Amino acid sequence: SSVTIETSLIERNQWSGIVLAEGAASVTNTRIVDNGGTGIRADWTGGSLTLSGNRMSGNRYPLQLTTDKLGATSGESIDSLLGNTNDSLIVVCCGNISAPDTLRTSPKLPWRIDNTDLTFVDSTIWKIEAGATIGMTQGTFFTFDGGALRADGDTARILFTSADQNRGDWGHLLFNSTTDTSLIRNVEFKYGGGHGTNGTLRIASSIVHPVVLDTVNINNSSTTGLRLNGPSIVTGPVVVDSNDGTGMLVRYADISLTDSRFVGNGGHGLWSNSQATGLTVERSVMSDNGDWGASLSGDNTTVGNSSLTGNTNGGLWIGATSPVVRGDTIESNGGTGLDVSDASNSVVENNIIADNSN
């Protein structure tokens, strides 16, 4: 079945203006105004939806769409969806997101995602504009099984958060596979890490195109903040504070972290395994964590001009060959200040190591 609505006026209804139930639907060049509910509700999965040239204002919300209908928003200008009691796009279950054009989230029209998963497939590009907010209720997961994310907060922070503002309210943002380079710039992730996931922001080893991280803040997660397992380029500070698990886990080679913070996490502040060779940490803070400030296992690791203080089980542990520890302050930790387990070709110089328990 199919429905076509064009060049119409739909106004002053008690509930929603248009409710679309199944099949294919097209709504074009129509004014949907002053209705008591949502302007257009498309609550079914499957079929197709086309939106173009419409005007929605004076409604409670402009649009409520299932995830597989989000691509239809590319046919509308953001301004044509404004002027409602709540200028938010409501996203409900279900279906993969495959958009022929770039899918955009604007600060003018925040997304409210109601207990559903968003899976991006094919070559879908999700562009999040500076200042935009993505708000979630319980249990939302974002997964890239294709496509790419361009979250560029160059002029204003982008925020992923939950409605209830409790740790673990939502799950994760996972890059499983991508068809292009992704960018996360000046983005804050709050209250994620729940519903069985093991990290709020996760970059899998299976991706081919890298994720660029430039000024990322992850806090108040109920598990690890950032799990970096695959191709990544870090060009700006990483701030991972106040998470219940480890702040950041690195399992990929040649990562450089500068002017970063790993503070107040329940596990290690920074943790790397043997795959994280060539890790460099400069001018960073790893303090007040529930385990070690940094526990690092990749060969050729460098920690320089950084502060590791007040951690429960120790300051800096390095279990690999050829480490460089230079110009660091390692003080007032609950265990050992500095433990270089394999001292082969190690360089340890110009550090302050004081007032640690061991």
Which H, E and C letters describe 92-136, residue by residue?
Answer: ECCCCECCCCCEEEECCECEEECCCEEEEEEEEEEEECCCCEEEE
> 88 falls in which pLDDT band (50, 70, 90)?
very high
User: Residue 138's pLDDT is what?
Assistant: 78
Q: Tell whether the model's pLDDT for residue 343 goes beyond 80.
A: no
Q: How far apart are CA 109 and CA 114, in angstroms?
A: 16
Assess whether pLDDT exceeds 90 at residue 277: yes
- Average pLDDT for residues 71-86, to the nearest whole number? 95
So what's the pLDDT on residue 180?
95
Mean pLDDT of 219-228: 98
Give mean pLDDT, residues 54-63: 98
1 has a pLDDT exceeding 80: no
Local confidence band at 94 (pLDDT 50, 70, 90 cut-offs):
confident
Provide the pLDDT for residue 31. Answer: 98
The number of CA neighbours under 13 Å toward the Cβ of 102 is 12
N-terminal to C-terminal alpha carbon distance within the chain: 74
- What confidence score (pLDDT) does residue 102 get? 85
Specify the pLDDT at position 271: 98
Confidence (pLDDT) at 137: 83
The predicted structure's pLDDT at residue 108 = 96
Name the token pair of 274.
Answer: 């043997």
Q: What is the pLDDT of residue 246?
A: 98
The mean per-residue pLDDT over the stretch 136-155 comes to: 93
47-51, 171-175, 322-326, 334-338: least confident range: 47-51
Average pLDDT, the chain: 95
In the chain, % of residues over pLDDT 70? 100
- Tokens read off for 94: 């279900």
Strand partners, 270: 248, 294
Global pTM exceeds 0.75? yes
At 93, the pLDDT band (50, 70, 90 cuts) reads confident
In this structure, are residues 157 and 131 in contact, taking their beta carbons and an 8 Å threshold?
A: yes
For residue 54, pLDDT over 90 is answered with yes
The pLDDT, as a whole number, for residue 161 is: 97
What pLDDT score does 22 carry? 81
Percent helix / strand / coil, the chain, rounded to 5: 5, 45, 50
